Structure 1
Amino acid sequence: MPMVDWPLPKLREYRPDSTAEADFDVFWQKQKELSAQTPLNPQLKELDYPVKVATVYEVTYDGADGTPVHGWYVVPKHAAAPMPAMVRYHGYSGSRGFVYELLHYAAMGIAVLSIDTRGQGNLTPDLAVYPQGSAAGWLTLGITDPDRYYYKQVYLDCIRAIDFICGRPEVDAARIAVYGASQGGALTLAVAGLDSRPKLAMPVYPFLCDFRRSVEIHSTGPYPEIKNWFRRFDPEHLQEEQVYRTLSYFDGMNHASRIKARTLMAITLQDTTCPPSTCFAAYNHVSAEKELKLYHDYGHEPLHFHEEAMMRFVETYL
């Protein structure tokens, strides 16, 4: 199969310099402090779901800007409290998914929360206001200002999911894992980098990493939105440095270096949406205990066998 990126030995060594600005940590500490001023306002509604292993809830909580974030919360019926818990983040343009996708973890005695990403799918809106237009999609909303960029509120929504799960009386707040693929992998890296509460992080071919290289070499997926933004709003690239400065606050590579959680990452070598080199850029910045699962003949696609690898990782370490 032809390569879509560098040869594997070069990928394994690829660790580009951090692009984090000098105020990266100060910026995010301020955002978290401002977010904490907004009450979480968690709401749970038990659903009639045809399984005996778990109780299923439709949940909402408020984002930092008041956007109601919707999700599924699945609680094992026969596990002793306090129990471990996991938070799942979904891929770009997706949603919290279906309850059955969470039941294998409930069968292990683990509570699971799966949330929508604001504005992308299912019931969660996006109440944020952006200073100008964008190319199609969400990747360029507010892209010239880190304080107004779309993913600022998304990352805060995801941290507030940890607030939700740690506030549940049945959950052991010292045994929390976060996971997701593609955009969900990026959100996993961000949450684990910005919040010390997750014990485990399991990103799968993470999106939003090593932005400049991703934009340069991708051939599928959402990254064309950035090129289209330049075509529409800045054909001479006069704002290029400002755009990439904004993106640096959200780059999974920069968040990866701040992760304390034990990390299991999956990378697929035929991925043309989240190119392997950009995923290695993040993985090689993780200084915490880590493991890599490398799938040579797979691209940006479901990895059902890797789900079982994550189950064993969770069984061992959570």
Structure 2
Amino acid sequence: MPLTDLTLAQCLALRPDLDEPADLDAFWEQTLHGARDAGGAPGFTPVDTGLTEVTTYDVTVPGFAGEPVRGWLHLPARASGPLGCVVEFLGYGRGRGLPHEQVLWANAGYAHFVMDTRGQGWSTAGGDTPDTAALNGTVPGFLTRGVESPHDHYYRRVFTDAVRFVEAARAHPAVDPGKVVVTGISQGGGIALAVAGLVPGLAGVMPDVPFLCDIRRGATIAARPPYTEIAEYLRLHRDRTETVFATLSYVDAALLAARATAPSLFSIAMMDDICPPSTSFAAYHRYGGPKDLRVYEFNGHEGGGGHHRREQLAWVRELLTAPRPEAPTAPTALHDPQLA
């Protein structure tokens, strides 16, 4: 697999100048206010998975416009007292899957919320959480749904769902609201970064090979979908380039990440042709809180796999057991476990 983007040295020196909407903060404040005003309460229904060490609940959370968003809550079966919590967002095209499939974090002793992604997944047509908006793009996929206006765009709804999911996790009696970490791979990593910029007081953020960062660059250099959906759309609609990228700037996770304050652990793969490393580095460099980084120099979009899960387990354990600093600390030095 060849290196198709900038070198590691170039990515470390990269400081892209991204176009930020003047009303970005007001846009999201109004969006989230509207979702909270829609009301509704989360629901938790026990599920028999056949597992004895993990207790699972089928979750429904009121998301964008109060619309129901599905998910799973996994808890260590013998845990007592409020727990540290990992809220996980999923990769592109993935739904929440079956209730027994993702139990790593519960086995490590944490509450684990898994959010379904509206309109994605396979359990039913459109997944367990349908996207109710009638708007669609003129190419397959999600990036161009409602791309003519930030108010109509698909990821406005998804990011709102994610914020409401984190709020539901914090309110659950099994969760310590001061010890909530958000994470995700690819699309899930981009959602985690967006949530980090929109929700104050998180304990930590773990974006892996994140999507939705420096979206304009991704659309010009990515060799494989989903960023190529934008290029295909603009190939058909030659006169809409600036409108499209103006809309996408409202959901660019690299811009929202600049507002984050929680400690973060990024992973970036240097041979990633789906989420090119320069786009992920754009988010890393702009990230507003303390940050650490694992680089996988010879991996593609699979990133660090099980090696990086091990890094995350150690990082979360230290994060949630150590006293929290009174003020943000400087970013830690670059560390690449493959080079150690």
Report the TM-score, using the length of structure 1 for normalisation.
0.95
Partner of residue 137, structure 1: 141
> Shift of residue 28 of structure 1?
0.8
Does structure 1 retain, via aligned residues, the 8 Å contact 2:35–2:66?
A: no
Partner of residue 14, structure 1: 14
Q: Distance in 1 between matches of 2:287 and 2:119?
A: 30
The 5 Å alignment of 1:185-196 reads 185-196=189-200
Q: 4+ residue runs of structure 1 moved beyond 3 angstroms? A: 97-102
Q: Does 1:158 align with 2:162?
A: yes
The letter of the residue matching 1:281 is A
Does structure 1 retain, via aligned residues, the 8 Å contact 2:269–2:297?
A: yes
Which residue among 211, 217, 220 is the counterpart of 1:216?
Answer: 220
> Shift of residue 65 of structure 1?
2.3
Which residue among 129, 132, 139 is the counterpart of 1:124?
Answer: 129
Partner of residue 110, structure 2: 110
> Shift of residue 45 of structure 1?
1.4
Partner of residue 330, structure 2: none
The 5 Å alignment of 1:44-193 reads 44-121=44-121, 122-130=127-135, 133-193=137-197
Other structure's SS at 1:56 match: strand
> Shift of residue 7 of structure 1?
1.6
> Shift of residue 98 of structure 1?
4.2
Partner of residue 285, structure 1: 286
> Shift of residue 205 of structure 1?
0.6
Does structure 1 retain, via aligned residues, the 8 Å contact 2:64–2:158?
A: no
Number of residue pairs matched?
A: 314
Other structure's SS at 1:284 match: helix
Does structure 1 retain, via aligned residues, the 8 Å contact 2:49–2:100?
A: no
Does structure 1 retain, via aligned residues, the 8 Å contact 2:51–2:100?
A: no
**Cα-to-partner distance string for 1:38-94 (whole Å, 9 max, x where unaligned):** 123312211112222221111112222243211111112222311111110000001
Q: Distance in 1 between matches of 2:241 and 2:61?
A: 36
> Shift of residue 169 of structure 1?
1.1
**Cα-to-partner distance string for 1:82-139 (whole Å, 9 max, x where unaligned):** 1111110000001123444532221222100101110011311011232x64311111
Q: 1:133 to 1:286 in 2, by over 3 A?
A: closer
Q: Distance in 2 between matches of 1:95 and 1:308?
A: 24
Q: Distance in 2 between matches of 1:18 and 1:283?
A: 13
Does structure 2 retain, via aligned residues, the 8 Å contact 1:76–1:111?
A: yes
The letter of the residue matching 2:268 is I
Other structure's SS at 1:139 match: coil
Q: Distance in 2 between matches of 1:133 and 1:95?
A: 20
Partner of residue 295, structure 1: 296
Partner of residue 206, structure 1: 210
Q: Distance in 1 between matches of 2:93 and 2:209?
A: 16
CA RMSD of aligned residues (A): 1.5
Partner of residue 314, structure 1: 316
Other structure's SS at 2:103 match: helix
Does structure 2 retain, via aligned residues, the 8 Å contact 1:74–1:103?
A: yes
Q: 1:127 to 1:240 in 2, by over 3 A?
A: same
Structure 1: stretches of 5+ with no match in the other structure: none
The letter of the residue matching 2:42 is P
> Shift of residue 267 of structure 1?
0.2
* Identical pairs, percent: 38
